[in-house]
Structure 1
């Protein structure tokens, strides 16, 4: 029997499967284009449908939707995150089709209003259909249908926690039917689940019942048990999934990645996988470009007001740390009078700070002084959402006294963040405030999703521009 621990990943078949799912999406895209044309052009005789644009969108959707994981199985995954991935994929599809249309299509001009209606209608339909299907599947699974049986090999509290999580998430569609306890000194049990203490009896049960899902809930150190079951079912159609207990080692939820062709578990690396970073990067650049265009008149008015009310430059520039500790120059509207500071010392603005101009006080309270940071986003130094960057002098101070502080720089810093919309903005005049900010930043890193970014952007727009502790 071979002892080479070669893991072969066998993906679960997607729930909205193959050609049917793709055909349904294309139908919704075309129907959205037709409906948008009916809304845009009140006179039926004047309805114009740019068929080449629609064809380009369908072609891009066929290529890009699978790349963004739109057709992956929903089982056990966050629907909010899937909706965010689909929304981002659809926006990129439309951008790609628009570029192709204006590059190759020479007849006529695309109606901007029609394009906006189409993008909104088709995007909403794509998401709503999936949400409806998800609701139906949840109800079926709660009723005991469409379930996937799982057998688990585990030990101790970690295995017990996994069994509890599965039992509390019936909508995921997984049901544990048997457990092999790999540690005779500890007890693993759950209501309605057969428990085995003998591995041979457990293996016989898996084969007799024709089980197709085997989960290994074991610590990394239990190599012997891992190899035992991988080797045992190597030549059989059993999906073996290793869910290692790395809670004592990893700062973030360790994900499996590929490095030089070898499977690697990240313990203290970037918590976002490469495809997520790419999605975030595309969104950031597009959002920043649109923000700078739409806010250009407001920013020009603020710049003129600054020049008219106080001496000095329009922009305040300061060195900050970005992703992986790379130093960049941040841009903000100047809110203080020109003053001297001791080298290596940065004094935060305090309440009734004499250095802050009356206009600067307004800009700080409304966060309008942060608008130039969209330039940093467009340059690739910052993100729209992420941990707020601090002065380098403060970094050197807080990294020594606040646990996990430096881990904030695993990703690009943001204009707004989870800490800011939860009240942690402005002056940090005590360690407890900075500790609270860092805890919220680390929560964001552990739980990032496109949906969470949209929630933070929405919260910033609704309530984040005015804060009692921003001065």
Structure 2
């Protein structure tokens, strides 16, 4: 598509790095554990230094702040040690601390910067730091069950292919206490004599049964453990799963295909390749949500007088509610309520909804202005604060439209791997307004998938700026 090439120009460097240097996001444990384990050791070392400096000197001088930055940069991110025996955790802490402390001491000796620090602080830090690290890891183990509960229900998963690789993955998941994964079983077409023996998990069904099972049981992780020679079968499986919101991974062989956020990853220590996954895992998810909260709060503070005026005008212009609520599909295909200023004389939210057309008689006089300028979308910043939507993302469609297009367009439901947005890549590339043909909707979905493949915070801000510019001259909406 010619109209989406700028996204590759904006993000080509980071996309290239993603392809060349796959990252491990630790799918074998929750995102909360990933974040805590990454920051635990660096923060313990820094806070122990600050505590000793304050205890012996009454303040944390700039020299200690500089040393803290160096220590943090050398130790971040920390590694996962929850699955290791306690004795091995202690030995790793001791080994790494000897290396870090030795490097710092050698640097201080060579540069003669020892005189900048209190010997009492440094001397005590040499033994307080590793002891504090050990205590922090023991505390994390004790708190792990409660932290796991904060992540909500465990994620359902299935493995396609009861072979050596698939059974190995199942055993790793079973042996991981904090994976957050509930493995339901295997799907395989082969006879019992050709399958690997697996006592812990059942054979759920044939591969053709997989899409229906995934939708019925809301499976969120699918691991494809099929041989390279089964490429046609794999493509058939992928086509069948494009009407779901499940994250799909290869274990571990793969061929080149059209990937969404494709990268190598790790599930309970087993390498997998993501085929279709959200770009908002780990740090990316934190950045995305933090930017949504900050920007939506700031925007709501600025536009609150405008919203009050618009609400009063809607009430005076025509009978009916000021705020129109309509069911849409949100993250993972869950239904959400989206808020808009009412711009029509009707409030349709049933099984059949007609899209707004040019010169649509249902649109009120004020509604025509609101829709043309996108001012009817302003209440959706409240949806962003609620966590139902994002400022930038695929635009949410009415439930009735989703049910129709999900069976007509391959990959349609992949757009629900992320929160829907107030604006999106499709909208700033001319795909706004009525989609009265299948080709128009296909173009919109192509843009949405392109956004997921190439997401960056820079791209989000670029889309926001283009949206502001389009508000004043876009004639596609009615």
Higher RCO structure, 1 or 2 (CA under 8 Å, sep 6+): 2
- TM-score normalised over the length of structure 1: 0.48
- TM-score normalised over the length of structure 2: 0.48
